Amino acid sequence: MTGVSSDVVRVDAAPLLAIDGLTLERGQSRILDGVSLTLGRGETLALVGESGAGKSTIAFALMGLIGRTEARIAGKMRFDEVDDLASLNERGWSRLRGRRIAMVFQDAGAALDPCYTVGGQLVSVLRRQLGLGKREARERALALLEGVGINDPEARLSAYPHELSGGMQQRIMVAIALACNPELLLADEPTSALDVTIQAQIIRLILTEIRARGASCVFVLHDLALASQSCDRIVVLYAGQVMEAGPSRGILENPRHPYTRLLKSCVLEIGTTTLDPPEGGVPSYDDMPAGCRFATRCPNALQRCVAERPPLAPEGERLIACFNPEPRS
């Protein structure tokens, strides 16, 4: 299924999360093709790549939100003592989801239930997941709202989501995700629906809360510069394949994979931290090259790249899947 060896991707003895050769197929389309990555305890990792790369698919698979009838999943997702998340049944997931692995979704307005007050939603999570009594759950909910920077939390508890601004809704989502002190937080483009100043506040808030808890975080981001500022490590994904992974600063300063370089040049050309998809777009999942999926758009492509998949090979602290990478600077 993949040429990636688990020895190659392991960066520490016992990472919290180790994904090894994750492949996910919907019908004829192989959406994820042998994705391998690790996440250490207390580490923050950014999944970066243009639209359709499979970033959310990875996050949803890690939350157990992709049904067995919906897609075929192969490979392994080891989380702490759980050998493979994909083999858990609903009962197993109910012990993990929301408790040990939580998610902040992209669009808080859509993710929050419009029929229930903020307090009702937060209190019900605390009662269900932690078995707290009504009064205790309410007190905890107030403290959580205060923790995520909500003014007058008492009044906000009785507000409905539509009565709050987008930034406030996203803070509530963060509070709900953090309610059970998860060991792993998945943040799927948590700020893409917000304006730039609020974006920075929310990302800072998530990082602060994650660090205070010693938890780990997978951020899904479009933006290479933002990823590099926010996270310890970056995994660059293209059409369901990992192209390059390593410490954030090195990846931004000296991208070795031609796709990472393309992402970087986009950020710099536009002169903002908003990334437009590079010209051409991700090819159709029904018609992918057998080798490197980036080969059809790659300025460095060799003949072998189309037919043969470059292994994700270590180079210093980095992993690069390329037969003809950019020179080291």
Ligand X SMILES: Nc1ncnc2c1ncn2[C@@H]1O[C@H](COP(=O)(O)OP(=O)(O)OP(=O)(O)O)[C@@H](O)[C@H]1O
- Positions that interact with ligand X (CB under 6 A): 26, 31, 49, 51-57, 285
Query: Closest CB to Mg ion among 36 and 56?
Result: 56
Query: Closest CB to ligand X among 55 and 171?
Result: 55
Which option in ligand X, Mg ion, none does residue 54 bind, with CB closer than 5 to 8 A by kind? ligand X
Among 38, 44, 56, 260, the residue binding Mg ion under the rule CB under 5 A is 56
Which option in ligand X, Mg ion, none does residue 169 bind, with CB closer than 5 to 8 A by kind? none
**Smallest distance, Mg ion to C-beta of residue 329, A:** 31
Q: Which residue is nearest to Mg ion (CB)?
A: 56
C-alpha 183/C-alpha 210 separation (Å) is: 9
From the list 221, 217, 227, 220, the residue with the least C-alpha distance to 250 is 227
Query: Closest CB to Mg ion among 238 and 323?
Result: 238
Q: Quick check: 241 binds Mg ion (CB under 5 A)?
A: no
**Smallest distance, ligand X to C-beta of residue 128, A:** 26
Pairing of strands 72-79, 233-238: unpaired
The token pair at 225 is 């510069």
**Smallest distance, ligand X to C-beta of residue 320, A:** 20
Which option in Mg ion, ligand X, none does residue 53 bind, with CB closer than 5 to 8 A by kind? ligand X
C-alpha 72/C-alpha 61 separation (Å) is: 11
With contacts defined by CB under 5 A, name the span among 37-45, 54-62, 148-156, 171-179 that binds Mg ion: 54-62
Q: Which of residues 139-178 bind Mg ion (CB under 5 A)?
A: none
Query: Closest CB to ligand X among 285 and 323?
Result: 285
How big is the site for Mg ion, counted in residues (CB under 5 A)? 1
Query: Closest CB to Mg ion among 49 and 161?
Result: 49
Query: Closest CB to ligand X among 121 and 241?
Result: 241
Binding residues for Mg ion, rule: CB under 5 A, are: 56
